[in-house]
Amino acid sequence: MTDSAIDSKKDSSVPVPASKTAKTKGTIITRGPGKRAQEARRQFLRSVALTVGVTSISLLGFIPIPADAKRPRLRPPGALSEEDYLSSCIKCGQCVQVCPVDAVKLDDLGTGFGLGAAYIDAREQACDFSCDGLQCVLACPTGSLTHTLDYTHDTRMGFAVFDKPKLCLAVAGKGFKGQARGPDYEGLLRYEEIDRWNPIPLKDYPYDVEICDLCVQACPIEQRYNQCQAGNPPSGDDNQCPPQRAIGLELIEEKNGVKHMKPVVYDGCVGCGVCEMICPTEQASIIVDYNILTKIPLSEQYMTKSKRGHS
């Protein structure tokens, strides 16, 4: 209202002399654009500006803020390849709501078009499969987390990589005593022997081992594998048995003849990130690599993963 009022004030100064001349000469002289036409033209130009403006802003999603975009992100279990994942995810967060350990979080503005899509920061809180039934996959309304998965060992979120062998306690021949991540760490983990249904804070479960093997002990795939070997499959269901081991400590002899223990990642690794979460060194010696996966279509991921961890 105010806008048009001001416009009309401006406009009124223009046509007045023109109409005077028209009267005096008694002929019709073409006057400048009328108030209405002028306002319509301005409105049209504003509308074009609005279109260009809003569309440009929406395309800023192509430029994720680099520091954030390079963060090695895990997607929840069953996530399609990154491109398909981002296009099919409806950004509702139902996967966040069902996760018993609150591992799933939603991306912010910094990740561009990833805004609102789910990710897992394994070091902060890994997926420990304590829901046992891939709840996030079941909750996903679009199949962005593919519904073709049935069992924990079918997932492929990433692949564990022995990243910093120099930091690893096992390599140094050391044991570990105490809370894996210190007294201030808030992360949760499920310990079946303590409570089958409720994960507990990691700090409430101190360890005492002669050679550090926390990554092997805590691995959900290893735990299931061992249960099956003992003839006691999870929920009494043989289908829950992982076909292969995921991680183990091996005695390795280096070229210079030095022997030491070392965690080795096997083909059964699903990249859940529990090893990365529990690793007690300052920086995790073992991390889950996400980028290896993005280059390989999901259907082939299971077939192509090879033994890694040699460094």
Partner 1 sequence: MNRALESIAQLFGKASHKLKKDEISPAAQKIYFYKKGIKVTKAEIEALHDEHHKNAKNKWRKRRWLTLMAVNLLFVVSFSLDIQLLEGSLTASRFMGFHMADLNSALQVMLAYKAVLINLLIGVVTIFIAWFLLGGRTFCSWACPYHLLAEWAESLHLWLAKRGLAKNYTFHRGVRTVFYVIFALLAIVTGYTVFEFISPTGILSRALIYGPTLALIWVAFLLLFEIFLSRRAWCRYVCPIGITYGIVGVFSPLRVTYDLTDCKHEGDCRAVCLVPHVLDLTIKNRSTDVEVGIGADCTRCGLCVDACPTNSLNFEFKGLTRKPKKEELPLMPDSNESLVNSEPSANKQSSSEQQNK
Give me the residues that bind partner 1 (CB under 8 A), please: 1-4, 6, 43-44, 46-47, 50-51, 54-55, 57-62, 83-84, 86-94, 96-98, 105-106, 108-110, 112-113, 115-116, 139, 141-143, 147
Question: For partner 1, which is the closer residue by CB, 103 or 278?
Answer: 103
Phi, psi of 235 (to 5 degrees): 55, 20
Minimum distance of partner 1 from residue 277's CB (angstroms):
21
Burial category of 87 from C-beta neighbours within 10 Å (exposed 0-12, middle 13-18, buried 19 and up): exposed
Cβ closer to partner 1: 65 or 200?
Answer: 65
Residue 277 half-sphere exposure toward CB, CA atoms < 13 A: 28
Q: Which is nearer to partner 1, 87 or 229 (CB)?
A: 87
Please state the closest distance from residue 234 (CB atom) to partner 1, in A.
Answer: 25
Q: H or E element: which one contains 137?
A: helix 135-139
CA distances from 27 to 14, 16, 19 (A): 19, 16, 10
Smallest separation (angstroms) from partner 1 to the CB of 306? 30
Q: For residues 18 and 29, what is the distance between their CA atoms, to the nearest angstrom?
A: 8
| For partner 1, the closer CB: 146 or 223 | 146
User: 97 with 139: CB under 8 angstroms?
Assistant: yes
Cα distances from 70 to residues 60, 157, 301, in angstroms, run: 17, 17, 22
CB of 108 to partner 1, least distance (A): 5
Could you tell me which residues come within 8 angstroms of residue 236 by beta carbon, excluding any fewer than 6 positions away? Answer: none
Q: For the chain, how far is it from start to end, CA to CA, in angstroms?
A: 71
CB of 161 to partner 1, least distance (A): 29
Q: Which is nearer to partner 1, 18 or 59 (CB)?
A: 59
| Alpha-carbon distance values, 192 to 132, 206, 258, 268 (Å) | 11, 15, 37, 21
Rounded to an integer, what distance in angstroms lies between the CA atom of residue 271 and that of residue 12? Answer: 72
Smaller CB separation from partner 1, 88 or 227 = 88
Q: How far is the CB of 43 from partner 1 (least distance, A)?
A: 6
Which lies closer to partner 1 via its Cβ, residue 31 or residue 91?
91
Compute the distance between CA of residue 137 and CA of residue 114 in angstroms, rounded to an integer.
18
Q: Give min distance, CB of 281 to partner 1, in A.
A: 30
Question: Based on CB atoms, which residue is closest to partner 1, 28 or 57?
Answer: 57
